[in-house]
Amino acid sequence: MTEDYITMNRSDNVLIIGAGLAGMKAGLLLAHAGKKVYLVESLPLIGGKVIKNEESFPNLECSTCMVAPVQQDVLQNPNIETLTHSAVEKIEGEAGNFRAVIKKSARYVSMTDCIGCGMCFDPCPVSLKNAWEEDLGERKAIYVPCAGALPNVPVIDPDQCLQLNGQQECSACADSCMFGAIKLDDKDETIEVDIGAVIISTGAETFDASKLPELGYGKYPGVYTPFEFERLFASNGPTLGELTIRDSEKTPGKIAIIHCVGRQQVGYCSSVCCMYSLKFAHFIKSKLPDAEIFNIHSDICLPDKNYQKFFNKVKESDTTLIYSPSPEESKVSQNGSGLKVVYTGADGKEQHVEADMVILSGAVIPHPEGSSVATIAGLNLDSYGFFEAGKDDIGSVHTSREGVFVAGSAEGPKDIQSSVIQAESAAGQVMICLGEVNR
């Protein structure tokens, strides 16, 4: 970047990395204030983790009904350029005067010509596990990650497509598309944008339960991660919401939900796991009223004024709450055709419950791409690996680099409400930053 560029071309535009609720909400606020927003999302769809949930605590509102209008507003706002299936590769410059390089991966389907009819999926001869559905469902090489995905335009996976990976000639999807929307000669693009400020809203992930082999994840089909369970319960998920055990038609009669999985390893309480574990108990009761549910917990973390009410409601619903000083040290083993969960009871002695299904409520951990985004953006991570914010300014969304802000679970585990509040705060700070530097 030349000296002239730095002094001559101050920009009022904003780059947002990550199109979950935090990124979308910040983008909409800035767009309504007249800023041009580049919203970059690595996946082919926007919405983040919340669209994996059928319903969200504490009010159990339908997540799709909550998020879809936000997604639509984002996609229709003329001030927001949404770049899905894209990655930021470089951010140079300084507050008010950054230049970012964005790689937009080829989608192989025209965003303008496709009407989202889905006629191209069936003819595709390639079937594989759908990672977005936590590998519980299948997809084709041309696919949308889930029913209701927005934008509702498929993407072709070039590693799996027989034509694109050179295994054999194939144009079955293109032949079936009446709108000529499939572009097998599509190419990746590199885009350079001038921006004045950046918001990082890349979200978080959940603890990899296979790191605690005693819990049986990956060994027993009846053991589930939290997002696997969210997709199992979801009516647009791989079983259309039917609660059956993986690789079988069996409906679980007894379900153990183990809280705090990975808490000791990560070294903090994730604040949302108790609430989503209680939500799961409520979900199960709503579909399987006769099921026996055991929530094996240590502390019950209810950090919001509305959460106690939800907890009380779940307690009344015949869910057995079992205190264990260290639930994540439980041991899951085969027990006939079901499973046995051995845990340490309140008296310090070993106890056990039998279960057909075990849900491992994992800690919220930094997104695996967080450190590469931090390197690209020149930011510090905190000691846990989340983006460091407000080091010298309590409650702040400022990062270690002026003009770059953080929002949502990229900064640490949070519920939806706190993520959105932080996004609004980051949008406000961007306005101040741009106002100051452009004066």
Ligand X SMILES: Cc1cc2nc3c(=O)[nH]c(=O)nc-3n(C[C@H](O)[C@H](O)[C@H](O)COP(=O)(O)OP(=O)(O)OC[C@H]3O[C@@H](n4cnc5c(N)ncnc54)[C@H](O)[C@@H]3O)c2cc1C
Q: Is 152 exposed, middle or buried (0-12, 13-18, 19+ CB in 10 A)?
A: middle
Binding flag, residue 93, ligand X (CB under 6 A): no
**Sign of the four-CA dihedral 104, 110, 115, 120:** negative
141 touches which of ligand SF4, ligand X, none (CB within 5 to 8 A by kind)? Answer: ligand SF4
Give the interface segment with ligand SF4, choosing from 37-45, 47-55, 177-185, 408-416 (CB under 6 A): 177-185
C-alpha 35 chain-centroid distance: 26
Please, which residue, 43 or 170, has the CB nearer to ligand X?
43
Q: Do the bridges between strand 331-335 and strand 364-366 make them parallel or antiparallel, or are there none, so unpaired?
A: unpaired
| 18 part of the interface to ligand X, by CB under 6 A | yes
> Is 182 one of the binding residues for ligand SF4 (CB under 6 A)?
yes
Token pair 């694109």 is at which residue? 164
Question: Looking at 40, 43, 70, 126, which residue binds ligand SF4 (CB under 6 A)?
Answer: 126
Measured distance CA(92)–CA(11) in Å, rounded: 13
Looking up tokens 């640490």 gives: 412
182 phi/psi in degrees, rounded to 5: -90, 125
| Selected binder of ligand X within 133, 230, 292, 356 (CB under 6 A) | 230
Element counts in the chain: helices (H) and strands (E): 10, 24
Q: Is residue 252 at the binding interface for ligand SF4, with CB under 6 A as the rule?
A: no
Q: 196, 438 in Cβ contact below 8 A?
A: yes
Between 38 and 227, CB nearer to ligand X: 227
Q: How far apart are CA 20 and CA 99, in angstroms?
A: 23
Q: Which does 279 bind (CB under 5 to 8 A by kind): ligand SF4, ligand X, none?
A: ligand X
Q: Mask of contacts with ligand X, 246-275, x by CB under 6 A?
A: --------------------------x---
Contact pattern for ligand X over residues 333 through 352, marking x by CB under 6 A: --------------------
The stretch near ligand X (CB under 6 A) out of 15-23, 146-154, 165-173, 175-183 is 15-23
Q: Is 421 in the site for ligand SF4 (CB under 6 A)?
A: no
Report the 10 Å Cβ neighbour count for 349: 7
Residues that bind ligand SF4 (CB under 6 A): 109, 114-120, 123-126, 141-142, 154, 156, 161-163, 170-173, 176-177, 179, 181-182
